Amino acid sequence: MKVVILAGGMGTRLSEETVLRPKPMIEIGDKPILWHIMKIFSSYGHHEFIICLGYKGYMIKEYFLNYAMHNSDVTVDVASGQVEVHERATEPWRVTLVDTGLETMTGGRLKRIRRYLDVNPFFMTYGDGVGNIDIHALGEFHSRHGSLATITAVRPLGRFGSLSLSGTHVDQFKEKEAGGDGWINAGFFALSPKVIDLIQGDETVWEQEPLAELVRQRQLQAYRHEGFWQPMDTLRDKTQLSRMWEHSEAAWKTWQ
């Protein structure tokens, strides 16, 4: 399955960092959080990515165009301009980088990359959250239930929208309702390309009209994840994730 990553937002709640770089390029350890997210999917055998760019998207393009330079030792012959890469560090990734607009909303970004998808289901996530989600189990769950969309549901952290569930069906989607002991959207989706038909245009917010319509059609399933999940919304979140990585306590590290 292809993996779509929404990486175009301005990340205003992390302005200390995002004034210089797009939020997905903020580093956890010595790697962008975008890299960590891609490694999660890649560890389950999903290596084809479509990244939706927007704010400072050229920095993400530069990162992948010079991936070997960023992740390998190099010798530069200044006189000739020749570069020798030593012990090339590469990933088995095929990455499509799409400029989806500076002001485009989350649903609009998804609609803009429709031509890069095929008829098969795909994964979608945001460029700012990590977790030890079992991607294989998520894909199998989506296939087994046969709905147009599957959302990964986790326990709330107190500042996110909530999901009301009936079995595996989502009965109600409440965006950003603080508190409670229900379930929230963790941002790891498995989707049929048909969901894009529910998106009107650039101004459509995926988490609003399209998800609400999927609920009305009873086409939104919930895959419950009881393990680790953490978004990087604030400087405190970034510091916490960095500390976990540095102390070899990164619960989202599903790769060797």
Structural domains of the chain, with CATH = 3-246 (3.90.550.10)
Separation between Cα atoms, residue 125 and residue 252, nearest integer Å = 15
Residue 34 banded pLDDT, cuts 50, 70, 90:
very high
Map 144-156 to HEC letters: HHCCCEEEEEECC
Averaged pLDDT of the chain? 93
Give pLDDT, residue 43: 98
**Confidence (pTM):** 0.90
Give pLDDT, residue 159: 56
Q: Residue 168 to residues 13, 163, 165, 216, 220: CA-CA distances in angstroms?
A: 33, 11, 6, 14, 9
List helix spans (H) across the chain: 15-18, 33-42, 57-65, 67-71, 106-112, 135-145, 209-216, 235-246
**Is the confidence at residue 162, as pLDDT, over 80?**
no
**Is the confidence at residue 40, as pLDDT, over 90?**
yes
**Is the confidence at residue 24, as pLDDT, over 90?**
yes
Residue 161 banded pLDDT, cuts 50, 70, 90:
low
Give pLDDT, residue 176: 57
**Is the confidence at residue 208, as pLDDT, over 60?**
yes
Looking only at the bridges linking them, the beta strands covering 169-174 and 162-166 are: antiparallel
DSSP letters spanning 103-160 = S--HHHHHHHTGGG--SS-EEEEETTEEE---HHHHHHHHHHH--SEEEEEE---SSS
